[in-house]
């Protein structure tokens, strides 16, 4: 009798059922601080591996192959790794933990809680990369969503299941506007992905924008800028997966990703590390191509009441509206809200620039009187801005042009309508009634 057969017979006699299998171990052959190469293993992309022994162990994700070697990217910080360090597979990233147990919690890109409130006990899971859907499984956007911001409710009405971008340069008020929406929105669950932002902003967002009752219905996935680019992308995917699971339960979900640009930056780091050629503004093709796959996961469910209304902040580097990420997001999203630095400098908050801003579903969810009043306000504002220099110079004489006279008469009301205190809430019905009352056809 062979040794293996004898061992099996002994285990059978003891009533033990043990599956004996060799422990697969590869070896680290290259490490440049971010990208690693390992030999001796054949693993699919997405597999998580543990590298090293003892206190110097780190985790990394397989992101590609080269000349028979695995390419991995570090998920943690710097590590004191040596050539030939063991590489052990831990398993595929597979699924994100989901469920009601996550409400009120803050987790990182790996799904671990970072709020000090103990472990999250939930057995429900959802694929991290989502589930492929037939386009006909997505419903049309036919119902408005009250976000509590007068200018958006009245002039850029958002619908349940819509994907919207908030586009602006740095320091123009994106985070303040997000806080106003999070506190006031009529949604069952709010999922927030704070991706690639400053660590200070995570605690600031929790204490100022998600304080009180808003915290109890929210899930926050926080992956600051000093984390691995793989973790930043996984953080955005995890937040989207959590929102998808709540949608499958029939809930009305608001998903916020702050910011989509930082996700693209993470994709750029990975693409360049893999040797992809840089194209527009240094972005390799894969970094921009990744965005539609993430954005298209949001939307309304055609077979149930659930919907994901998604808001993505997009940082326009140098206030450049033609930045590749801004341009790509504008083409994919169902609408975009542009914030103006000039309005912010004049003290108009939220600094929404109505000219380039648009909601592509507003015509499907707003009443005719509402649409007519919104068009009237836009027309008066456009006329004023076209003749602004002439008016400020005092070169325009009243009565010379009825359109300019009407724009001048309505301009104070327009500024009052656009401006709103950060802690104020203006419901959809009130916003529409005020708009129609002032700018509607008599």
pLDDT on residue 274: 82
- 102, pLDDT greater than 80: yes
- Do the Cβ atoms of 266 and 196 come closer than 8 Å? yes
Cis amide prior to 350 (ω within 30 degrees): yes
* Element (DSSP H or E) covering residue 353: none
Write down the pLDDT at residue 4: 62
**pLDDT at residue number 20:** 53
- Name the band, by pLDDT with cuts 50, 70 and 90, for residue 26: very high
Confidence of residue 6 (pLDDT cuts 50, 70, 90): low
Q: Provide the pLDDT for residue 70.
A: 93
Tokens, residue 155 = 């002039």
Point out the domain boundary residue: 312, 337, 363.
Answer: 363
Residue 12, pLDDT score: 65
Q: Is the pLDDT of residue 19 over 60?
A: no
Q: Are residues 373 and 355 in the same domain?
A: no
3-state secondary structure of 4: helix
CATH at 79: 2.40.10.170
Give the Cα separation of 35 and 262 in Å (integer).
19
> Is the same domain home to 181 and 143?
yes
Please, which pLDDT band fits residue 265 given cuts at 50, 70 and 90?
A: very high
Q: Which of 89, 114, 129 marks a domain boundary?
A: 89
- The answer to whether residues 359 and 405 belong to one domain is no
Q: What CATH code is carried by the domain that includes residue 434?
A: 1.20.1270.330
Whether the pLDDT of residue 386 is over 60: the answer is yes
* Distance between first and last Cα of the chain: 100
Q: Give yes or no: residues 237 and 380 share one domain.
A: no
pLDDT of residue 374: 96
Domains in the chain, number: 3
Is 308 in the same domain as 377? no
Over range 4-30, report the average pLDDT. 68
Q: Are residues 62 and 112 in the same domain?
A: no
Give pLDDT, residue 82: 86
Buried b vs exposed e over 8-39: b needs ≥16 C-beta within 10 Å? eeeeeeeeeeeeeeeeeebebbebeebbbbbe
Residue 54 confidence (pLDDT): 74
- Shared-domain flag, residues 103 and 216: yes
Band (pLDDT 50/70/90 cuts) for residue 7 is: low
**Rounded CA separation 410/380 (Å):** 7
- What confidence tens digit (pLDDT) does each residue in 166-219 have? 998 888 888 889 999 999 999 999 999 999 988 888 888 888 888 788 899 999
Residue-wise pLDDT tens digits, 66-77 = 888 999 988 876
The answer, yes or no, to whether residue 329 has pLDDT greater than 60, is yes
Percent of the chain with pLDDT over 90: 55
Say yes or no: 346 and 417 in one domain. no
- Reported as a single tens digit per residue, the pLDDT across 227-260 is 889 899 999 999 999 999 999 999 999 999 998 9
Residue 1 has what pLDDT? Answer: 53
- Cβ within 8 Å of residue 325, ≥6 positions away: 260, 261, 264, 283, 288, 291, 314, 315
pLDDT of residue 442: 57
Residue 316 belongs to domain with CATH number: 3.40.50.12240
Task: Give residues with Cβ within 8 angstroms of 37, minimum separation 6.
Answer: 28, 29, 30, 31, 66, 69, 70, 71, 72
Domain that residue 304 falls in:
95-363
Query: Do 61 and 143 share a domain, yes or no?
Result: no
Q: What is the pTM of this model?
A: 0.88
pLDDT per residue over 39-76, tens digit each?
Answer: 999 898 888 899 988 777 888 889 888 888 999 988 87
pLDDT for the residue numbered 13? 63
* pLDDT given for residue 113 in this prediction: 94
72 and 136 together in one domain: no
Contact indicator for 268, 284 with CB cutoff of 8 Å: yes
Greatest distance between any 2 Cα atoms in the chain: 110
Do 119 and 211 belong to one domain?
Answer: yes
* Location of structure tokens 């000039």: 342
**Domain termination residue (choose one: 338, 363, 388):** 363
Distance of CA 101 to the CA centre of its chain: 21
pLDDT at 15 over 70: no
Does residue 149 register a pLDDT over 90? yes
Confidence check: pLDDT of 306 > 70: yes
Q: Same domain, yes or no, for 149 and 171?
A: yes
Mean pLDDT of the chain: 89
């Amino acid at each position: 009798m062979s040794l293996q057969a004898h061992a099996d017979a002994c285990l059978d006699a003891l009533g033990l059922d043990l599956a004996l299998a060799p422990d697969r171990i590869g070896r680290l052959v290259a490490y440049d601080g971010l990208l690693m190469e390992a030999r001796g293993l054949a693993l699919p992309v997405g597999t998580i591996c543990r590298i090293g022994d003892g206190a110097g162990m780190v985790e990394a994700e397989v992101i590609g192959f080269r000349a028979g070697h695995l390419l991995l990217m570090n998920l943690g910080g710097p590590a004191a790794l040596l050539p030939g360090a063991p590489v052990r597979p831990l398993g595929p990233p597979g699924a994100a933990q989901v469920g009601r147990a996550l409400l009120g919690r803050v987790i990182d890109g790996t799904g671990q809680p970072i709020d000090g409130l103990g472990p999250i006990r939930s057995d429900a899971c959802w694929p991290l990369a989502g589930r492929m859907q037939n386009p006909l499984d997505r419903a049309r956007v036919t119902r408005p969503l009250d976000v509590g911001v007068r200018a958006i409710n009245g002039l850029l009405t958002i619908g349940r299941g819509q994907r919207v971008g908030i586009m602006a340069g740095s320091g123009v008020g994106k985070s303040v506007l997000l806080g106003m929406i999070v506190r006031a929105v009529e949604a069952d669950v709010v999922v927030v992905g704070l991706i690639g932002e400053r660590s200070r902003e995570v605690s600031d967002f929790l204490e100022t924008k998600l304080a009180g009752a808003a915290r109890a219905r929210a899930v926050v996935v926080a992956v600051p800028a000093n984390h691995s680019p793989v973790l930043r992308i996984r953080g955005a995917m995890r937040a989207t997966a959590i929102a998808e699971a709540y949608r499958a339960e029939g809930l009305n979900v608001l998903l916020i990703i702050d910011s989509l640009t930082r996700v693209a930056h993470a994709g750029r780091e990975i693409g360049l590390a893999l040797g992809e050629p840089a194209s527009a503004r240094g972005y390799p093709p894969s970094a921009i191509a990744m965005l539609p796959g993430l954005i298209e996961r949001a939307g309304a469910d055609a077979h149930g009441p659930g919907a994901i209304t998604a808001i993505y902040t997009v940082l326009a580097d140098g206030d450049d509206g033609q930045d590749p990420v801004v341009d790509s997001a504008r083409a994919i999203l169902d609408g975009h809200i542009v914030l103006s630095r000039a309005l912010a400098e004049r003290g108009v908050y939220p600094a929404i620039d109505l000219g380039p801003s648009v909601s592509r579903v507003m015509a499907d969810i707003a009443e005719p009187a509402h649409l007519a009043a919104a068009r009237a306000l836009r027309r008066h504002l456009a006329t004023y801005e076209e003749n602004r220099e002439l008016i400020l110079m005092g070169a325009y004489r009243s009565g010379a042009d009825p359109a300019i006279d009407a724009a001048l008469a309505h301009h104070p009301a327009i500024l009052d309508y656009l401006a709103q205190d950060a802690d104020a809430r203006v419901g959809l019905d009130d916003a529409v009634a005020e708009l129609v009352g002032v700018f509607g056809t008599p």
